[in-house]
Amino acid sequence: MKSIEASELIINNRGAIYHLNLRPEEMADTIITVGDPDRVAAISKYFDHIEHSLQHREFITHTGFVGKKRISVVSTGIGPDNIDIVLNELDALANIDFDTRTIKSDLRNLTIIRIGTSGALQSDIPVDSFVCSTHGLGIDNLLNYYQHNNNDEERAILQQFVTHTQLNGGFSHPYICSAATGILKHFVDGFSHGITVTCPGFYGPQGRVLRLGLTHPHLVDRLTQFSFGNYRITNFEMETSAIYGLGKLLGHQCLSLNTIVANRVSKTFSKDGNAAVDILIQKALGIIENL
Ligand code: R1P
Ligand code: URA
């Protein structure tokens, strides 16, 4: 098998992958991703034991154990462009032999769970509550750089979304990917379920006006009013669709859990987002330990 060249798969002097600075044995099969680098320690403080602690740029990783479950917590920084780096490098750590630079014949399936913050798009989803994303619907374009396809239901939701929002062509080509249902079913009690829209920015791409005029001034209303069968758009943020899309293409099981810190309909913001995130962390770890 052809080996992958030095410029394509970049391995540093420590034998670790370029951006994440991780060696294959330093990564667990169960991975929690967080946007905020400070959230890594906020999660690993609940580990019984930390084996590895590494950092390069905004990418901090702590690998350790909760009970018998080996877990890596990795910070991605903000946005889908960083998810391109993190998902490809996590997969390379699992599925490419770093000595021969060839793809392994036995591929490893990772479980990748995002614990992040998000803005709600429905009045009945208050700040400090939790959303589990049934789908990631991307208006960020990342997945359009990879060959991908959809099942019938995903195609139908996407078609309805494009018709309803008129967000297609020009700068945005929306894409969609569903959550791993085998994991999703464990995150029901205490979670709202719905479609999460992933945006390439926090201000204009999420309809926030400070000093600049927007090309889609009615974006928030359009997203709030969208429905397809029993599905509605519950929230938006900046990583979920990229994780779901790339994760599924690479054969991994992905789920996104969101702490709602802003409600864009009631125009409210959490008074203590970190406390709400901490509740989600403890709730999620209790479930992940037993997956
Ligand atoms: C924006 O404030 C950031 O918060 C959300 C968004 O997806 C974006 O990354 O997630 P995190 O709290 O995980 O960073
Ligand atoms: N993260 C986002 O991306 N948007 C919000 O409104 C809140 C958190």
Which pLDDT tens digit goes with each residue over 234-253? 999 999 999 999 999 999 99
Which pLDDT tens digit goes with each residue over 34-82? 999 999 999 999 999 999 999 999 999 999 999 999 999 999 999 999 9
Q: What per-residue confidence (pLDDT) applies to 259?
A: 99
* Amino acid symbol at 136: G
Using pLDDT thresholds of 50, 70 and 90, give the confidence band for residue 100: very high
Provide the Cα torsion 180, 182, 185, 187; round to 10°.
Answer: -60
Which pLDDT tens digit goes with each residue over 17-30? 999 999 999 999 99
Task: Match 């479980």 to its residue by tokens.
Answer: 111
Query: Which of 192, 6, 209, 223 is CA-nearest to residue 98?
Result: 6
pLDDT at 186 > cutoff 90: yes
Q: What per-residue confidence (pLDDT) applies to 225?
A: 98
What value does the mean pLDDT take over residues 207-225?
97
Q: What per-residue confidence (pLDDT) applies to 153?
A: 96
The 10 Å Cβ neighbour count of residue 272 is 11
Using pLDDT thresholds of 50, 70 and 90, give the confidence band for residue 1: confident
Beta bridge partners of 92: none
In this structure, the residues whose C-beta lies within 6 A of any atom of ligand 1 are: 34-36, 78, 116-117, 202, 237-239
Q: Is 64 helix (H, G, I), strand (E, B) or coil?
A: strand
Which pLDDT tens digit goes with each residue over 173-183? 999 999 999 99
What value does the mean pLDDT take over residues 185-200?
98
Q: What per-residue confidence (pLDDT) applies to 172?
A: 86
Judged on CB neighbours under 10 Å (0-12, 13-18, 19+), 262 is buried
Q: What per-residue confidence (pLDDT) applies to 171?
A: 80
CA–CA dist 206, 63 (Å, integer): 33
CA–CA dist 215, 67 (Å, integer): 50
> Do 97 and 215 contact (CB within 8 A), yes or no?
no
Percent of the chain with pLDDT over 70: 100
Q: Is 31 helix (H, G, I), strand (E, B) or coil?
A: strand
Using pLDDT thresholds of 50, 70 and 90, give the confidence band for residue 112: very high
Centre of ligand 1 from the C-alpha of residue 75, in Å: 11
Centre of ligand 1 from the C-alpha of residue 129, in Å: 15
> In the 8-state DSSP scheme, what is residue 172?
B
CA–CA dist 263, 121 (Å, integer): 6
For residue 115, the ligand 1 atom closest to its alpha carbon is: 13
| CA–CA distances in Å: residue 194 to residues 50, 115, 131, 230, 284 | 34, 16, 7, 9, 18
Structural domains of the chain, with CATH: 24-288 (3.40.50.1580)
Residues 6+ apart with CB under 8 A from 152: none
Residues 6+ apart with CB under 8 A from 225: 164
> Do 276 and 291 contact (CB within 8 A), yes or no?
no
Percent of the chain with pLDDT over 90: 97
* Pairing mode of beta strands 69-75, 30-34: parallel
Centre of ligand 1 from the C-alpha of residue 99, in Å: 35
> Do 102 and 3 contact (CB within 8 A), yes or no?
yes
Which pLDDT tens digit goes with each residue over 115-172? 999 999 999 999 999 999 999 999 999 999 999 999 999 999 999 999 999 998 778 8
Which ligand sits closest to the CA of 76?
1
Beta bridge partners of 117: 259
Q: What per-residue confidence (pLDDT) applies to 195?
A: 98
